[in-house]
Amino acid sequence: LDIEEFRKAGYKAIDRICDYYYSLQDKPVVSQVEPGYLREALPAEAPEDGEDFDTIQDDYQKLIVPGLTHWQHPSFFAYFPTACTFEGMLGDLYASSAANPGFNWACSPACTELEAVVMDWSAKLLGLIPDFYNTSGIGGGVMQTSASDSGLTAVVAARSRFVCLHPSIPLESLIIYVTSQTHSLGAKAGLVLGLEVRVLDVREEDAFALRGETVRAVIDQDKERGKYPFVLIATVGTTSSGAIDRIDEIGEVLQDFPDIWLHVDAAWAGMTFVCPELRGPGELQAINKYATSFCTNFHKWGLVNFDASTLWVRDRKLLTDALDITPEFLRTKHGDEGTVIDYRNWHLGLGRRFRSLKVWFVLRSYGAEGFRRYIRKCIELNNLFASYVLESPDFALVTQPSLALTVFRLQPETEQPLALQALNDLNRIFYGRLSARRDIHLTQTQLNGVFCIRLAIGAVRTDESHIKHAYDVLVEEAGQAIEAWKQ
Ligand code: PLP
């Protein structure tokens, strides 16, 4: 495409994206295609001669859109949201037009400087203390691809710090602490680094939150068997049930073990800190007091298109000491002088996307108050859904609703209470029926052997009518599931 052809194709693309959003609600939430559908539809090789771009764009509509699961659909309640906005899309478009790998300040000063500023805006918006601001010159924030990358980066830095502090301790003795509710990013970090991961117990009576006393007990046990925990990954808002680890208690215990890095993964729930009333003392205050690093994802509940995971550290040197490799071809005057941030030393890769642009667009267009309104709306909608569940004789909450997540199951009133196995069987049938629906999408989980269903709210266009519809669908499918299960 030349510039004028790009202009024409670009207008057409935007028109089609608008049409997509106008028609989103009428589409099936979950793609209906069968595995391999695209291989059958596409030629086996790339074309020898270039094709007309109109045809290519038409094929996107014809072949790709039917294979999409529509995460922005107002009845998408699965996983956690990836709420996206037009502001974010335009940010991505401009970023890709600059096509800039932005690894050093000198690569394009605007990329680094905007990221440093936007990370400070975000830190303030979320209520982090100035220790984490880039302007502190000591702590700071960086954008990563995903919470998994943020977690891995933190674990790599934690390992380096520990090894520097204790050079005689063999690497095989190092352990990463997670809980049974930690996202798989903890296990992944262990896998990638070849380190042992210890899964700490959490109890149902603590709403699946990690407690300080558990941490102290396992540290003592591990030290006795010659093992050295060097990082603990705590979670605010676990994936299965939205549980919130007791960061205050854990932080207090770790005061006695200053060589253990506390990484707080709040990939989903961290965004709620924009609302002052949602900053619990056991959460934000404790993060401010104790966390070595903290991560939350704008690309989940933060109105920014994937990807934009934000990671803050109390001491940036912990990242750069672990990750700075500077061959001659990457040296720059400002980098040598140490007067600028070179973000390549704050993450695992080298080249990086210009992600701060879309976050900047979103924060400016929504404003802090618009952002808070959106978060509060999602929570109110979830409270509405939870109230339907509570009032129903057929459904039961498995855990208390957490922010914009409800975990529930089908539990019809029966003369004799149903055994766990029978309830699980019934709920699997129920979930099987829900999964076959085209008009709604939810995901399942297990908590202490209980099969349950999660409903997470976050799509920008979800309103009360979609919550009501979701509940009506549940009631309808519950009736059918009970019939099928009786047979
Ligand atoms: N942490 C939590 C608590 C999550 O719920 C998720 C995903 O749902 C992740 C981390 C992983 O996020 P990412 O895809 O950004 O790695």
Quick one: pLDDT at residue 281? 80
CATH number at residue 314: 3.40.640.10
Quick one: pLDDT at residue 486? 84
- Which residue among 71, 182, 265, 293 is best mutated to probe the pocket of ligand 1, counting the most ligand atoms within 8 A of its Cβ? 265
Residue 85 covered by a domain: no
Quick one: pLDDT at residue 460? 96
Residue 84 covered by a domain: no
183 alpha carbon – ligand 1 mean position (Å): 6
Does pLDDT of 244 surpass 90? Answer: yes
265 alpha carbon – ligand 1 mean position (Å): 8
Q: What residues does 443 pair with on adjacent strands?
A: 454
What is the average pLDDT value for the chain, to the nearest integer? Answer: 96
Query: Which structural domain, as residue segments, surrounds residue 212?
Result: 101-353
Mean pLDDT within 31-54: 97
Mean pLDDT within 124-135: 98
148 alpha carbon – ligand 1 mean position (Å): 7
- Is residue 379 domain-shared with residue 343, that is, in the same domain? no
Residue 198 covered by a domain: yes
- Is residue 372 domain-shared with residue 298, that is, in the same domain? no
Does pLDDT of 414 surpass 90? Answer: no
Residue nearest to atom 14 of ligand 1 (CA): 146
Residue 75 covered by a domain: no
Quick one: pLDDT at residue 280? 82
376 alpha carbon – ligand 1 mean position (Å): 21
Quick one: pLDDT at residue 199? 98
> How many domains does the structure of the chain reveal?
3
199 alpha carbon – ligand 1 mean position (Å): 18
Among residues 47, 68, 89, the one where a domain terminates is 68
Residue 89 covered by a domain: no
Quick one: pLDDT at residue 124? 98
Residue nearest to atom 5 of ligand 1 (CA): 239
- Is residue 294 domain-shared with residue 406, that is, in the same domain? no
Quick one: pLDDT at residue 248? 97
- Is residue 57 domain-shared with residue 143, that is, in the same domain? no
399 alpha carbon – ligand 1 mean position (Å): 20
Pairing of strands 405-410, 443-447: unpaired
- Which residue among 179, 283, 300, 305 is best mutated to probe the pocket of ligand 1, counting the most ligand atoms within 8 A of its Cβ? 300
Does pLDDT of 487 surpass 90? Answer: no
Mean pLDDT within 238-256: 97
Quick one: pLDDT at residue 415? 86
CATH number at residue 41: 1.20.1340.10
Tens digits of residue pLDDT in 417-468: 899 999 999 999 999 999 999 999 999 999 999 999 999 999 999 999 999 9
CATH number at residue 434: 3.90.1150.170
Among residues 309, 332, 353, the one where a domain terminates is 353
Which pairs with CB-CB distance under 8 Å and at least 24 residues apart come from 466-472?
466/74, 466/75, 467/381, 467/384, 467/385, 467/388, 469/75, 469/439, 469/440, 470/75, 470/77, 470/385, 470/440, 470/442, 471/385, 471/388
Quick one: pLDDT at residue 417? 86
Report the nearest atom of ligand 1 relative to the CA of 299: 15
- Is residue 12 domain-shared with residue 144, that is, in the same domain? no
Report the nearest atom of ligand 1 relative to the CA of 150: 16
**How large a percentage of the chain has pLDDT more than 90?**
97
Tens digits of residue pLDDT in 347-393: 999 999 999 999 999 999 999 999 999 999 999 999 999 999 999 99
Report the nearest atom of ligand 1 relative to the CA of 182: 3
Nearest to 179 by CA among 141, 209, 158, 152: 209
405 alpha carbon – ligand 1 mean position (Å): 14
Residue 158 covered by a domain: yes
Quick one: pLDDT at residue 404? 98
Confidence of residue 243 (pLDDT cuts 50, 70, 90): very high
389 alpha carbon – ligand 1 mean position (Å): 26
- Is residue 420 domain-shared with residue 326, that is, in the same domain? no
Among residues 298, 326, 353, the one where a domain terminates is 353
- Is residue 137 domain-shared with residue 57, that is, in the same domain? no
Residue 77 covered by a domain: no
Mean pLDDT within 93-108: 94
- Is residue 275 domain-shared with residue 377, that is, in the same domain? no
- Is residue 310 domain-shared with residue 431, that is, in the same domain? no
Quick one: pLDDT at residue 135? 98
Quick one: pLDDT at residue 282? 84
- Is residue 311 domain-shared with residue 231, that is, in the same domain? yes
Residue 86 covered by a domain: no
- Is residue 399 domain-shared with residue 339, that is, in the same domain? no
224 alpha carbon – ligand 1 mean position (Å): 33
- Is residue 116 domain-shared with residue 184, that is, in the same domain? yes
Q: How buried is 417 (Cβ within 10 angstroms: 0-12 exposed, 13-18 middle, 19+ buried)?
A: exposed
Residue nearest to atom 11 of ligand 1 (CA): 147
Tens digits of residue pLDDT in 264-323: 999 999 999 999 999 988 899 999 999 999 999 999 999 999 999 999 999 999 999 999
Enter the pTM of the model: 0.97
Quick one: pLDDT at residue 205? 95
Contacts of 408 (CB under 8 A, 6+ apart): 389, 395, 396, 397, 398, 452, 453, 455
Instruction: Give me the half-sphere count of Cα atoms (radius 13 Å) on the Cβ side of residue 26.
Output: 5
Pairing of strands 196-200, 174-179: parallel
Site residues for ligand 1, CB cut-off 6 Å: 79-80, 146-148, 183, 185, 235, 237-239, 265, 267-268, 297, 309
- Which residue among 80, 304, 310 is best mutated to probe the pocket of ligand 1, counting the most ligand atoms within 8 A of its Cβ? 80
